[in-house]
Structure 1
Amino acid sequence: MATVVRGERRPFGPISNDTTGPAVTHGQVGGEGVCRWKMLMNGMHLEGEWNCVEYVVVEPGASVGEHVHLRTEEIYYIVSGRAVVTMDGEEFEVREGDLVTTPIGSAHSIANRGDEDMHFFVTEVFPGEGPAARPALVHVPDLLPDPAGAAAGRTAAVDLTPYFTGGWRQFRLLEIPPGGQLRETVPADLSIVLHVLDGQAALATGGEEYTGGPGLSVAVPPGYAHTVTGTGDRPLRVISTEVAVA
């Protein structure tokens, strides 16, 4: 989305955040109990039609109440735990690794009926033109290649374009072995947000290095080279969300 000053678009460089210090919400969107919520990225700081990137923790017995997005399309990625999503009146269970797509106009809620916290990652993007697609559920780890011969790491990719009208592109799950490294350059027509799920990472871009574990998020602007290095003693898992730049 970026920022326009006197008719000129003023882009930002890389942005980093993590999931410490979230707000505590009671009865979120008319739901039950307590949730912990944090905005990781504001869309006005990102290139492309992003609205926001958020992280939500739903405590046992709590829920985010039913609501309808009239201005944005949305994905949920379940980071840990289990929940029940109700989408347009239909209930289905979700678990760690599930990606839920919410087209514009769909009524949805998410409830934690278990006894452990449930964590999920949220991205909202402004829509484009055309009819809304149907909601979808994809268990992303099932798309990872066979671990045999994957010493350099594994990638699972979901093409988001069939599920939305906006500028969504790929959602990826990256698995990098200890000491392994992924090197990429973001195409000039995309911007991405990387979010660490598990393990320890060093994310370098724009002359800066950001280090941390689960919850670390880094936005990489169009055209920027970046490296993601697994610095711990266990595999590093990172999700990457891509949105087109007009």
Structure 2
Amino acid sequence: MTTEAPTSQRAPVTPHAAGGRPGPFRSIGTVAGAATVYGVHGASGRTHWKCFAGRRQLASATEAVEWASIPPGGLSGEHRHTRTEEIYLVLRGHGEFLFNGTPHRVGPGSLALTAPGNVHGLRNTAGTDLDWWVIETLAPATHAVLSTTDHIHPGVPPMGDAVIHDLFKDRTVRTDGVFTGPLRQVEVVELDAGQRTVLGAADAELAVFVHSGEGRATADGTTADLSSDTCVTLGAGTSSGVQALTPLRLFVVTLALPRRSAEAS
């Protein structure tokens, strides 16, 4: 796999509070300057890709919070998950989610949950780009291997059935019974112009993606401008006030902290 990064590519911005401590927003970024990646998971063709946050920014067992896009006819190659749990949330476009060799039609709002032991991929079947949000988290056994010196072998669970939701219809999707790691919930938050809400959790980080609209998020004196295709990660134990400047649609993912980390915060 090779990458071609344009000169305008910017690394995720990580605001910090006074004294060098992490601020409420662990990362803020947009899809501007996304890298061009060739041969994703062995597939031919190109993918546009941007990583917003990972282990350096987040305290939960989250591998990466990313955005990806493939052109008409493009393919994100099929591959088996042996160590992580992953969501694909389609933002724009239409295609087929490939799950253990079976295609499933997907479009905006389609949320696919992939547990370890399964093979997945994504194909663009339409005439426009297919964009999706990706969050990959460590299964508990994998997290134990990476966080201790014990020689633990997590193994590969048996395959399960495809779990695909229409998030625009369901509004809130819990991952109980499918995932065992930190990714607990995915929801849609919609605000009319002028409306406000508060986002935050005592024992979990939040990953927030702006699907459409404009707004502003403020926490502990730090302000983040929100516009389409902006991603913000919010630290556990903090809260952010969100104001919609225009009709605003947010996707919000809850990433629970390990119990010890949550108690310490």
TM-score range, shorter chain: 0.7 to 0.9
* Unaligned runs of at least 5 residues, structure 1: 1-9, 144-155
1:44 and 1:51 in contact (8 A); partners too? no
Which residue of structure 1 aligns with residue 245 of structure 2?
Answer: 231
1:53 paired to 2:65: yes
1:174 paired to 2:184: no
Total equivalences in the alignment? 222
2:86 and 2:114 in contact (8 A); partners too? yes
Residue by residue over 1:102-125, the C-alpha shift from the partner in whole angstroms, topping out at 9 and shown as x without a partner, is 111211111112110010000000
CA RMSD in angstroms, aligned pairs only: 1.7
SS state at 1:141 partner: helix
Amino acid at match of 1:101: L
Query: What CA distance in whole angstroms lies between the structure 2 residues aligned with 1:34 and 1:185?
Result: 36
SS state at 1:222 partner: coil
SS state at 1:45 partner: coil
Which residue of structure 2 aligns with residue 66 of structure 1?
Answer: 78
SS state at 1:111 partner: strand
2:196 and 2:242 in contact (8 A); partners too? yes
Amino acid at match of 1:173: V
1:183 paired to 2:192: no
Q: Residue 197 of structure 1: which of 204, 211, 219 is its match?
A: 211
Identical amino acids, percent of aligned pairs: 25
* Unaligned runs of at least 5 residues, structure 2: 1-19, 142-153, 259-265
SS state at 2:180 partner: coil
Q: TM-score, normalised by structure 1?
A: 0.85
Query: What CA distance in whole angstroms lies between the structure 2 residues aligned with 1:159 and 1:12?
Result: 28
Query: What CA distance in whole angstroms lies between the structure 2 residues aligned with 1:45 and 1:199?
Result: 26
Residue by residue over 1:152-187, the C-alpha shift from the partner in whole angstroms, topping out at 9 and shown as x without a partner, is xxxx21111221121221111111101111124322
Q: Residue 101 of structure 1: which of 99, 110, 113 is its match?
A: 113
Query: What CA distance in whole angstroms lies between the structure 2 residues aligned with 1:91 and 1:135?
Result: 10
Q: Residue 27 of structure 1: which of 19, 39, 49 is its match?
A: 39
1:75 paired to 2:102: no
Question: How is 1:115-134 mapped onto 2 (pairs within 5 angstroms)?
Answer: 115-128=127-140, 131=157, 134=161
**1:11 CA drift (Å):** 7.3
Alpha-carbon spacing, 1:219–1:12, altered in 2? closer, same or farther (3 Å): same
Q: TM-score, normalised by structure 2?
A: 0.79
Question: How is 1:138-217 mapped onto 2 (pairs within 5 angstroms)?
Answer: 138-143=165-170, 156-187=171-202, 189-217=203-231
Residue by residue over 1:73-111, the C-alpha shift from the partner in whole angstroms, topping out at 9 and shown as x without a partner, is 100000011011111111111000010001112111111
Which residue of structure 1 aligns with residue 22 of structure 2?
Answer: 12
1:205 and 1:220 in contact (8 A); partners too? no
1:218 paired to 2:245: no
Alpha-carbon spacing, 1:184–1:212, altered in 2? closer, same or farther (3 Å): closer
1:136 paired to 2:148: no
Query: What CA distance in whole angstroms lies between the structure 1 residues aligned with 2:87 and 2:121?
Result: 13
Amino acid at match of 1:157: T
Query: What CA distance in whole angstroms lies between the structure 2 residues aligned with 1:225 and 1:92?
Result: 37
